[in-house]
Amino acid sequence: MFNPVSFRRIVEVWNAGQHLTEMRATLSDMEETLGLQGELLHDVPVAKVFANGEYRDTWDARWAEGHGVCQWASLGEDIAGAQLPHVQGPAGVGKVHAAGWVDVPALLQAMEAHFEVHHNVEHQTWNVDDGLPSGADALVDCRGVGAADELSEVGVQIHPNHGDVLTLSTPLEGPHALDSGGHTINNGKWLLPTHQHAGRQHWRLGATYAWHKTKASPDGHAADELRKHMSKVWDGASREAWGNAQLEKHEAGLRPASPDRRPMVGPWPGQPKGVLMLNGLGTRGVLVGPSAALALVRWWMDGVPIPEEMDLSRFKAVRERFQD
């Protein structure tokens, strides 16, 4: 899921405009190349349910200030006029129109099939000690938390951020149907409507955050908490429908977070030329990943400096160990 607004502080996220533009351009090109026009990038607005009147006042004050976040969202409104007939929110909602989701599994499957057809895929193991493979001009390590131990040896920290996400389904019709008005609902957690299949609406519900877990493993308690938290947003009839939502899948993963929540892009410190890395995408990988990849390609192919926010030299430990 991508969303250019931070709901914690009600500000636009880092480089939102650039990242949205480059994400859309990249995915548009991929859809065309892979024959998946309209199947990867899905625009779905977010309805942020205000926790209380104080939060709404802070939200609406952004418009009085002419804050940059206003280009991605709209002034708060009452539930009655927000086209959210089954959502409860006494303090109202604010909508983010520049949001949506990317079908990453479909993208990965299509990419692998594309590369297989063109005989560009080889399956093999690799670690940093192997260096640059024979015959390769460059290697980009994108292992996320899988590279954490090796990175720590050169002063780069990757913090695993564990998260649980559920896939649920509800009937399209009948008393147990659920309607979010075509919006992703956010009340501290988020509920995203994805695809419809066999007379049912599928939803993605997330997400949890746990810094103490270092292995990805679905947590039953976390699943219960997610469902319980989202039940608070529905009115009486829809709350019963929510209680009957069918669990289709429970997944867990580790987000690779850098200390300053910025990507880490460029040459692997201390390794031969051509051993590169792209890591630290954290919780906004879909949004910032294309820009990070583009920065790496521009640097390698055209000599364009890597943005300071992404360059590993921003970390003091790296600068001290690997002076130019």
Residue 114 lies in a domain: no
Do the beta carbons of residue 72 and residue 48 sit within 8 Å? no
Same domain, 132 and 270: yes
Residue 85 lies in a domain: yes
Same domain, 149 and 280: yes
Domain boundary among 257, 274, 296: 257
- Measure CA 138 to chain center: 27
Rounded Cα gap, residues 110 and 29, in angstroms: 13
Same domain, 311 and 280: yes
Per-residue pLDDT tens over the stretch 69-127? 999 999 999 998 898 989 999 999 999 999 999 999 999 999 999 998 987 788 889 98
Residue 110 lies in a domain: no
Same domain, 266 and 289: yes
Same domain, 222 and 252: yes
Same domain, 72 and 193: no
Nearest-CA neighbor of 141 among 128, 160, 130, 153? 128
Name, in order, each residue with C-beta under 8 angstroms of 235's C-beta and a sequence gap of 6 or more. Answer: 86, 87, 88
Per-residue pLDDT tens over the stretch 223-272? 999 999 999 999 988 999 999 999 999 999 999 999 999 999 999 999 99
Same domain, 90 and 167: no
Nearest-CA neighbor of 308 among 266, 279, 258, 276? 266
- Count the domains in the chain: 3
What CATH number does the domain containing 230 carry? Answer: 3.30.9.10
User: Residue 131: which domain range?
Assistant: 124-158+261-321
CA distances from 171 to 56, 103, 166, 194, 251 (A): 33, 22, 17, 14, 22
Same domain, 151 and 167: no
Residue 43 lies in a domain: yes
Residue 109 lies in a domain: no
Q: How big is the CA angle at 47 (ends 44 and 51), to the nearest 5 degrees?
A: 155
Predicted pLDDT at 121: 82
What sign does the dihedral 195-197-201-205 (CA atoms) show? negative
Give pTM, 2 decimals: 0.93
Percent of the chain predicted with pLDDT > 90:
90
